[in-house]
Structure 1
Amino acid sequence: MGNNHLPYTLKELVLYFLKLGTWGFGGPVALAGYMHRDLVERRQWISEEDYREGLALAQLAPGPLAAQLGIYIGYVHYRVLGATLAGLAFVLPSFFMVLALGAAYVHWGGIPWMQAIFYGVGAAVIGIITVSAYKLTRKSIGSNPWLIGIYLLSAVYTVWFETESVWLFLGAGTLYWLVKAPPRNISFSGSKSGITKSVLFPAVWQAATQAPAGSLWQMFLYFTKAGAFVFGSGLAIVPFLYGGVVKEFGWLNEQQFMDSVAVAMITPGPVVITVGFIGFLVLGFPGACVAAFATFFPCYLFTVLPAPYFRKYGKHPGIKAFVDGVTAAAIGAISGAVIVLGRRSLTDLYTAGIALVTVLALLKLKKMPEPLIILIAAVAGLLLRAFMN
C-alpha cells in the first residue's frame, strides 16, 4: 500500500479508537479535543492541517461531529477501509454499553442511581470540555482579528440560541475566504445542502410519518432523517429527537427520554449513541441496531464521499481560507457549548466545585487520566446524592 513510512499502522489506529470509544467521556467537544491532543500533539500521527480539514468537514456535514472527525482521521492515511474501521471501533463500545444499560433499565424499571452518577460525572465533564475548548482556542485562533471576530460571534450565537447554525459556519468560511483569498472566476451555483434538504427531506419525512406505527421500518426512516438532517454536535440531535420520539410518535414518555439523555452522557463515545438506548426501549435489540445504524450511516457517507475532494483541493489558498474560517466558527461554537452545557449541569455549589477541581487537576496534573477523573466524580455524585437525601 506504500504506507510503510507512516508513523502508525491501521491496527494501532483501530485500537486507539476502540480505547477512545471505551474511555472517551465528555461528548463531541471533549472527544474532538482528545483526538487533537493524542493524534496531533502527542503521537503526531495526523498533521494539524489534516485535523483542521476533518474538523471543518465534520462541522459542515450533518450528523454527530466526533464520529465524523474520527471517520475522517481514519480516511487520512488508510482511505475507505481506515474510515470504516475507525468509525466502527469508535461507536461499537458505547453501543454495547447502552444495550447493557437498556436491558438493566427495562429489568429494574428506571435508573435513579444513574442520575446520581451523572450528577457528579456531568459536572466533571464540564471541567474536561472547558480545558479542551481553552486549548483548541489558544492553538487555532491566535491573534488574527478576523478569526477572533468569527470565533466570538459563533460563541455568542451558540450561547444565545443554544444551538449551532450551519449557515454561520458557511458564512464564516466564505467571509474569511473573501478576505484572505478573493476568488477569480469562481462561482458557486446551487447549494448542495439546499438541494438535499428541498428534495430529500420531504420524501423521507413523508415516508417516516406514513410507515406503520412503532415498526422497524418507521424507526429506520425516522433515525435516518435524524442522522442526515441534524447539524452541529451530537447534543444538537437531542431537541430533534425529543420532538419525534416523545411528541410526534409517543415512543417514550418524558422521564424515559430524559433517562436516555442521561445514559448518553454517562457512557463514553458519541452522545448520539442515545439512539441505541431509545431503539432498545421501543423495540428491543432489533430496534437498537436499526436506530444506531440509521443514525450513523448517513454521517459515514457525508464524510467518506467528500473526503477525497477535501484532501485534493484542501491546499488551495481559497479553500484553506474557507476551512480556517469554518474552524474558527466551529471552535467558537464549541466554547459556547461549554457555557450552554454548564448551565444545565452545574446546578449548585457541589457541582460547580467538582467542575472547578476537574479544571485545576487537568491544568496542574498533566498526567491525570480522564477515566480516573470520571470515576472519582461518579463516586462523588453517588455520595452527594445519598447525603442530600
Structure 2
Amino acid sequence: MNEPAPSFGALTLAFARIGCLSFGGPAAQIAMMHRVCVEEKGWIREDRYLHALNYCMLLPGPEAQQLATYIGWLTHGVRGGIVAGLLFVLPGLAVIIGLSTAYALYQDAGWLSGLFFGLKTAVLTIVLEAVLRLSRRTLKTRFLRLLSILAFLALFALALPFPLVVVVAGLAGYLRARRLPAEAAAAEPVETQRPRSPLGTALLQLGFWVLVWQLPFLVLSLVAGAESLAALFAFFSKMALVTFGGAYAVLAYVAQVAVENYGWLRPGEMLDGLALAETTPGPLVLVLSYVGYLVGFRTVPGLEPVIGGIVGALLVAWATFVPSFIWIFAGAPYIERLRGKPQISAALSAITAAVVGVIANLALWFGLHVLFADVHRLPLFPGWTGEGAPGLWWPRLASLDPAALILFLVSAILLLRLKIGMVKVLGLCAAAGLLWRLAGF
C-alpha cells in the first residue's frame, strides 16, 4: 500500500521546521524526522524509513542530511530531495556563518555557553524516545536484539568505526537468511517502487552531479589570488568522500591538518568551532564551514575579511554537502529495488538492529555530556589510551548539573507522559534554560 504523498508546499514547510529545530546531532535529527514524517504526517511507512536510514548509514558524510534528501526524493523526486536536503542544512549554515563572524571579529565564544542549555535537555528526551520507539518496532527477534546489543558495545566500549559495525551486522543477517530461508521470506509486502533509470542515463546523471559539485574548484583554479580558496575546496572535497561516522570521525584529522599542515587555524580554535557548531541546528559537520570562514577571513586578498569568510564558509559547505545529494540521486533508485528481496531484506533488518545500537550509543554519549560537566573515557586495558582505544565513557558524579537534570525530567514528562507537542517542549525548555543562565546560576 502506497503512503499518501505530501504536497510540495507541505514538504517544504515540514523540512523548514525540521531544519530550524534539528539540534543535538544525528540521533536527535533522525528521531525528529521519524516523528514528523512517520508518526505525525504518515508520509512514509516505518519499514521504508528504516530502509532509507540503513542506506544512509553506509554512506560517507552527514547521514541525517542524506536521510532528509532521501525522504524528499521519495515523495517529490529530485526537486523534493534538493529542497528537503537544503532546508535541513541552510538554517544551521546561516547561524554558523553569523557565529563565525562574531568569533573572527571578537575571538570570544564564551558568551554562547548558556544560550542553548535548556534546548539540549529537551533534545535528549527526543533522542531517548526515538531509541525506545525503534527498539519496540524493529527488535522483534532474539537475533536482532543480540545484534543491537553487540553493536552498542562495539561502539560504546570498543570504539569501533560504525560503518564496520553495520556492515558486519548486514553480513550476519544475510548469512542467517541463507541458512534459514523460511524466516527470511516472512517479509512485509513492498509497495510500488519508483522506476529505475537505464544504466546509461544513470551514469550521465552521475557525471552531471559530479561536475556540479566540482564546478567551484574549476572556477577558483582560473581566478588569480584564489589559491587558498582552491586548496580549501580541494581538501574538503576529499574529506567529503571519507567522512564515515559523522563529524567526530573526521574532526581530529581536520584539526591536525588545518593547524599543522596548512596553518589555517591556531591551536584551540577547532574546539571553539565545535562549541559554536553544537549550539546550531543542522549537522555537526557544519563546524567545517567555520574552518572555511576563518580561512577566507584571513587569507583572501582583495576581499573584505567578512566577505572572504562568508565565501570560504559557503565553499566548504558546497564541497561537504553536495556529495550527499549525489549519493541519494544516483544510488537510491537501485536501493529501492532491493526492497522485498528476502535475503537482502534480512540483511537490512540486521543493519536496522545495529543502527538501534548506534543511536543508543549516541544517545548515551549525548546524555552524559548534557547532564555532567566532566566526562572522561576509562581505558578497558591498562596502558592502551589515545584516539580509538577501547574504553568506557564515564562521568565524574560530582559534576552532575542539577538544573540540566531537572529540565530533562520536566521535558520527559511533558513529551512522553503528557504528549505535549515537540516544538512547544523545545521552546519551553529553551526559555527555562536561558532564564536560568541569565539569573546567574
Is the 1:63–1:227 contact (alpha carbons within 8 Å) kept by the matching residues of 2?
A: yes
- Take 2:275 and 2:226, find their aligned partners in 1: how far apart are those partners? 26
- Take 2:117 and 2:138, find their aligned partners in 1: how far apart are those partners? 32
Q: Choose the corresponding residue for 2:339, options 309, 314, 318.
A: 314
State the partner residue of 2:396.
Answer: none
**Secondary structure of 1:383's partner?**
helix
Q: Choose the corresponding residue for 2:352, options 311, 327, 344.
A: 327
Aligned: 1:175 with 2:172: yes
Gap change, CA 1:369 and 1:122, over 3 Å in 2: closer
State the partner residue of 1:277.
Answer: 290
How far apart are residue 170 of structure 1 and its match?
0.8
Is the 2:27–2:359 contact (alpha carbons within 8 Å) kept by the matching residues of 1?
A: yes
**Secondary structure of 2:353's partner?**
helix
| TM-score, length of structure 1 as denominator length | 0.84
How far apart are residue 139 of structure 1 and its match?
2.0
Gap change, CA 1:247 and 1:338, over 3 Å in 2: farther
> What are the within-5 Å matches in structure 2 for residues 345-364 of structure 1?
345-347=370-372, 348-350=400-402, 351-364=404-417
How far apart are residue 308 of structure 1 and its match?
0.6
State the partner residue of 1:218.
Answer: 231
How far apart are residue 173 of structure 1 and its match?
0.7
Gap change, CA 1:158 and 1:290, over 3 Å in 2: same
Q: Show CA shifts across 1:16-73 (max 9, x none).
A: 1111111222211111111111111221111222211110011111110100101111
**Which has the higher Rg, Structure 1 or Structure 2?**
2
| TM-score, length of structure 2 as denominator length | 0.74
How far apart are residue 74 of structure 1 and its match?
1.2
- Take 2:119 and 2:161, find their aligned partners in 1: how far apart are those partners? 24
Q: Choose the corresponding residue for 1:252, options 262, 265, 279.
A: 265
How far apart are residue 242 of structure 1 and its match?
2.8
**Secondary structure of 1:387's partner?**
coil
Is the 2:23–2:120 contact (alpha carbons within 8 Å) kept by the matching residues of 1?
A: no
> What are the within-5 Å matches in structure 2 for residues 260-275 of structure 1?
260-275=273-288
| Structure 1 residue identity aligned to 2:137 | K
Gap change, CA 1:118 and 1:164, over 3 Å in 2: farther
Aligned: 1:287 with 2:312: yes
Q: Choose the corresponding residue for 1:115, options 94, 113, 116.
A: 113
How far apart are residue 320 of structure 1 and its match?
0.8
How far apart are residue 326 of structure 1 and its match?
0.9
Aligned: 1:154 with 2:151: yes
Q: Show CA shifts across 1:311-344 (max 9, x none).
A: 1122211111111111111110110111222333
State the partner residue of 1:236.
Answer: 249
Per mean C-alpha deviation after superposition, the further-off stretch among 105-114 and 33-42 is: 105-114
Per mean C-alpha deviation after superposition, the further-off stretch among 246-255 and 93-102 is: 246-255
Gap change, CA 1:244 and 1:161, over 3 Å in 2: farther
Higher relative contact order (CA 8 A, sep 6+): 1
**Secondary structure of 1:305's partner?**
helix
- Take 1:228 and 1:110, find their aligned partners in 2: how far apart are those partners? 32
Gap change, CA 1:344 and 1:238, over 3 Å in 2: farther
Q: Runs of 5+ in structure 1 lacking a partner? A: 185-206
Q: Show CA shifts across 1:74-107 (max 9, x none).
A: 1113222221221112211211121122222223
How far apart are residue 293 of structure 1 and its match?
0.7
State the partner residue of 1:49.
Answer: 47
State the partner residue of 2:24.
Answer: 26
**Secondary structure of 2:157's partner?**
helix
- Take 2:410 and 2:249, find their aligned partners in 1: how far apart are those partners? 28
- Take 2:128 and 2:267, find their aligned partners in 1: how far apart are those partners? 29
More helix by percentage: 1
**Secondary structure of 1:216's partner?**
helix
Per mean C-alpha deviation after superposition, the further-off stretch among 66-75 and 334-343 is: 334-343
Q: Show CA shifts across 1:95-144 (max 9, x none).
A: 112112222222333121212224444444333322222222222223x1
State the partner residue of 1:341.
Answer: 366
Identity over aligned pairs, percent? 31
| Structure 2 residue identity aligned to 1:299 | S
- Take 2:266 and 2:367, find their aligned partners in 1: how far apart are those partners? 25
State the partner residue of 1:192.
Answer: none
Q: Runs of 5+ in structure 2 lacking a partner? A: 182-216, 297-308, 373-399
State the partner residue of 2:300.
Answer: none
- Take 1:237 and 1:163, find their aligned partners in 2: how far apart are those partners? 14
- Take 2:271 and 2:427, find their aligned partners in 1: how far apart are those partners? 21
Gap change, CA 1:221 and 1:325, over 3 Å in 2: same
Per mean C-alpha deviation after superposition, the further-off stretch among 117-126 and 127-136 is: 117-126
- Take 1:38 and 1:235, find their aligned partners in 2: how far apart are those partners? 26
- Take 2:438 and 2:265, find their aligned partners in 1: how far apart are those partners? 26
**Secondary structure of 2:238's partner?**
helix
**Secondary structure of 1:155's partner?**
helix
Number of equivalenced pairs: 360
| Structure 1 residue identity aligned to 2:366 | L
Gap change, CA 1:250 and 1:374, over 3 Å in 2: farther
How far apart are residue 381 of structure 1 and its match?
5.4
| Structure 2 residue identity aligned to 1:349 | D
**Secondary structure of 1:266's partner?**
coil
Q: Choose the corresponding residue for 2:436, options 379, 383, 386.
A: 383
Is the 2:407–2:429 contact (alpha carbons within 8 Å) kept by the matching residues of 1?
A: no
Gap change, CA 1:45 and 1:10, over 3 Å in 2: same
> What are the within-5 Å matches in structure 2 for residues 92-103 of structure 1?
92-103=90-101
Gap change, CA 1:125 and 1:48, over 3 Å in 2: closer
- Take 1:222 and 1:123, find their aligned partners in 2: how far apart are those partners? 35
Q: Show CA shifts across 1:327-377 (max 9, x none).
A: 111110110111222333322232333333333332123124346435634
Is the 1:52–1:327 contact (alpha carbons within 8 Å) kept by the matching residues of 2?
A: yes
